[in-house]
Chains A and B, each alone.
Chain A
């Protein structure tokens, strides 16, 4: 969906996050887990970017870097603040980050683990307000009531504890808390994967509705491609710490340019017995980010691998306008998408 005058809210450039691997008594660094390895992407104001890839590919690490819950090893994260200035989040110290924290919030996967069981809804949702300096209890109560209504919960529930709520309701509580300070960028890390099927749709509708009403920008992390296709304007695919492909959702599903993306699409079990899927032969396993293969990280599993792939890492480049891929053969391959 094209938005007029789209401006990047966030631009990530050459972002890296390496974790040291330490061994022995002296905890000497013997290597690095290249959890996020030189990634580049942007998110326009008001859009939803999907971040997909298999377990351990670096999705959560990348998200936590953006929110500066982790400090990146190197790279830039250019954020357009509410006042219109562009700042590099990677360069800011704690003090400088503080006023920006409100503008970037996170929704977590686990609606059970992420809420303190000893706090009431008022305390949970009102906590960010208190931290931001809203001392007046009355005003906090009003704002919490407003937030609860916004996510479809009854304000009368304010004095209850989270255990009295179902999974879907708890996810709403988490969303209300994330929205307390009027964020502009919301990072949602697998927000529906722990929810029951019948409650997933309610939560997805809520996220869409809130986006429209509050002009939110989402980074939507998920391994569920059906959900990503439904919710996202554009999609970025990661494999072993690197971005292998980015395109509009429509393009990505219709005409993938990277063999790994095509394999992911083919593996997706479609909820229709008349469409047979899953006939994908991906030999071997996902490589470890601690010792990635030479050349293209995907080459040991790729059906289209040529000699060049084994030695030379493919550049991440624009294949057609707005469609980026990191594959030597992206122009010539004719990969199947989904119907």
Chain B
């Protein structure tokens, strides 16, 4: 982890809202994060907290009635002359050449539903070759060679034959590997893996996670790793962002998030899962209530109706800002604001 270098991707106060007939869904409501190269950047949060929508915004593929309402997403690009420049992805035309170059070329996605990611009527090989030719100036033969090498890299057995198969002819584990091969075929700076192992079994999951780790280390790229599984995030991520209802609750190095969590939500979440130390068959600590419906977002701190530290008059009136606590952690919670002010 090289925190002192400039971030590769810097998201500032991003808001993505869906304008529905019934009302506005504030799916992402002002999140900020910095992704550095050589880092596995983990995003963890429960269903509907805005993980996928954030990544769709980065790739500029948010579907209507959704729209980026405000914020910036600065991508550090290196031009041919070796100079770096910052491009604000929010300002690009989602259908323009620049954005097409970013999408798949510089930032690649392993989507949440691998089945939907491949077309059933074209062979996997042809789809990867097409993607390579879109982003690199190579002929079809060269592209096939690259695709084959990617298949070998991700450990697909008999890669020559597999390349000519259709996605539905592959097992879940192989399809996942093919998906990773496709995403990596253009040497992206950032790989976004959106719940890459929810659809596969534990032993396959272990293989896929190991593979991603190895590839990331070999290529020194960055991975944005999204999951709702705290076990997976603990094993994979260097740096963790905890989201709740479209906002960042806490950010920090993985060890601090798990061993010195600050935000009441992070703490409660970690306590609620059975761990190696939890005595069996006794009640687990719980978080009261459930995640509110997107149309009923609580005012103030979004966690306040469920928070054990709730301070009436403060938490339900104002939204806490993401504030540094200690050296490396950032927390959105008034418990820490007050301390900062008093100190």
Does any Cβ of A come within 8 Å of B119's Cβ? no
Tell me whether B274 and A229 are in contact (CB under 8 A): yes
Does any Cβ of A come within 8 Å of B328's Cβ? no
CB-based nearest A residue for B283: A205
Which residues from chain B contact A169 at a C-beta distance below 8 Å? Answer: 290
Q: In the complex, what distance in Å separates the CA atom of A274 from the CA atom of B234?
A: 8
Q: In the complex, what distance in Å separates the CA atom of A248 from the CA atom of B276?
A: 16
Contact with A along B208-250 (1 / 0, CB 8 A): 0110000000000000000011111111010000000000000
Given that A230-B280, A267-B203, A273-B258 are contacting pairs, would A198 and B272 also be in contact in the complex, using a CB cutoff of 8 Å?
yes
Which residues from chain A contact B285 at a C-beta distance below 8 Å? Answer: 201
Question: Smallest CB–CB gap between A202 and chain B, Å?
Answer: 5
CB-based nearest A residue for B279: A230
Identify which of A263, A271, A275 gathers the most chain B CB atoms within 10 Å of its CB. Answer: A271
Partner of B280, one of A197, A205, A229, A273: A229
Does any Cβ of B come within 8 Å of A116's Cβ? no
Does any Cβ of B come within 8 Å of A285's Cβ? yes
Given that A231-B280, A272-B258 are contacting pairs, would A226 and B203 also be in contact in the complex, using a CB cutoff of 8 Å?
no
Tell me whether B290 and A271 are in contact (CB under 8 A): no
Does any Cβ of B come within 8 Å of A270's Cβ? yes
Which residues from chain A contact B237 at a C-beta distance below 8 Å? Answer: 273
Partner of A282, one of B207, B268, B291, B293: B207
CB-based nearest B residue for A196: B46
Does any Cβ of A come within 8 Å of B254's Cβ? yes
Question: Smallest CB–CB gap between A153 and chain B, Å?
Answer: 12
CB-based nearest A residue for B254: A273
Does any Cβ of A come within 8 Å of B281's Cβ? yes
Within B318-336, the residues touching A (CB, 8 Å) are none
Q: In the complex, what distance in Å separates the CA atom of A209 from the CA atom of B282?
A: 9
Number of interface residues of B (CB under 8 A): 49
Q: In the complex, what distance in Å separates the CA atom of A233 from the CA atom of B46?
A: 29
Does any Cβ of A come within 8 Å of B47's Cβ? yes
Tell me whether B287 and A198 are in contact (CB under 8 A): yes
Given that A198-B268, A226-B273, A339-B276 are contacting pairs, would A167 and B290 also be in contact in the complex, using a CB cutoff of 8 Å?
yes
Does any Cβ of A come within 8 Å of B278's Cβ? yes
Q: In the complex, what distance in Å separates the CA atom of A270 from the CA atom of B232?
A: 7
Tell me whether B273 and A280 are in contact (CB under 8 A): no
Within A162-217, the residues touching B (CB, 8 Å) are 166-169, 196-202, 204-205, 208-209
Question: Smallest CB–CB gap between A87 and chain B, Å?
Answer: 30
Does any Cβ of A come within 8 Å of B275's Cβ? yes
Given that A269-B232, A272-B234, A276-B235 are contacting pairs, would A198 and B203 also be in contact in the complex, using a CB cutoff of 8 Å?
no
Does any Cβ of B come within 8 Å of A338's Cβ? yes
CB-based nearest B residue for A165: B290
Tell me whether B203 and A270 are in contact (CB under 8 A): no
Partner of B276, one of A168, A270, A282: A270
Contact with B along A218-262 (1 / 0, CB 8 A): 000001011101110100000000000000011000000000000
Which residues from chain B contact A167 at a C-beta distance below 8 Å? Answer: 47, 290
Which residues from chain B contact A233 at a C-beta distance below 8 Å? Answer: 281
Identify which of B172, B173, B203, B259 gathers the most chain A CB atoms within 10 Å of its CB. Answer: B203
Identify which of B171, B269, B285, B290 gathers the most chain A CB atoms within 10 Å of its CB. Answer: B290
Q: In the complex, what distance in Å separates the CA atom of A196 from the CA atom of B51?
A: 14
Question: Smallest CB–CB gap between B231 and chain A, Å?
Answer: 4
Tell me whether A226 and B235 are in contact (CB under 8 A): no
Does any Cβ of B come within 8 Å of A5's Cβ? no
Which residues from chain A contact B206 at a C-beta distance below 8 Å? Answer: 266-267, 269, 277-280, 282
Which residues from chain A contact B203 at a C-beta distance below 8 Å? Answer: 54, 263-264, 267, 280, 282
Q: In the complex, what distance in Å separates the CA atom of A223 from the CA atom of B197?
A: 14
Question: Smallest CB–CB gap between B191 and chain A, Å?
Answer: 19
Does any Cβ of B come within 8 Å of A268's Cβ? yes
Tell me whether A278 and B209 are in contact (CB under 8 A): yes
Tell me whether A269 and B290 are in contact (CB under 8 A): no
Does any Cβ of A come within 8 Å of B205's Cβ? yes
Tell me whether B272 and A197 are in contact (CB under 8 A): yes
Which residues from chain B contact A209 at a C-beta distance below 8 Å? Answer: 283
Q: In the complex, what distance in Å separates the CA atom of A34 from the CA atom of B290?
A: 41
Does any Cβ of A come within 8 Å of B340's Cβ? no
Tell me whether B278 and A225 are in contact (CB under 8 A): no
CB-based nearest B residue for A225: B202
Does any Cβ of B come within 8 Å of A1's Cβ? yes
Q: In the complex, what distance in Å separates the CA atom of A21 from the CA atom of B282?
A: 45
Does any Cβ of A come within 8 Å of B284's Cβ? yes
Given that A198-B268, A201-B286, A264-B203 are contacting pairs, would A275 and B232 also be in contact in the complex, using a CB cutoff of 8 Å?
no
Identify which of A197, A279, A282, A338 gathers the most chain B CB atoms within 10 Å of its CB. Answer: A197
Tell me whether A168 and B269 are in contact (CB under 8 A): no
Does any Cβ of B come within 8 Å of A302's Cβ? no
Does any Cβ of B come within 8 Å of A290's Cβ? no
What residues make up the interface of A, taking CB atoms closer than 8 Å to B?
1, 54-55, 166-169, 196-202, 204-205, 208-209, 223, 225-227, 229-231, 233, 249-250, 263-264, 266-280, 282, 285-286, 338-339
A–B Cβ pairs within 8 angstroms, 14 of them: A55-B201, A198-B287, A198-B290, A204-B274, A230-B278, A231-B280, A263-B203, A271-B234, A272-B234, A274-B258, A282-B207, A285-B171, A285-B174, A286-B201
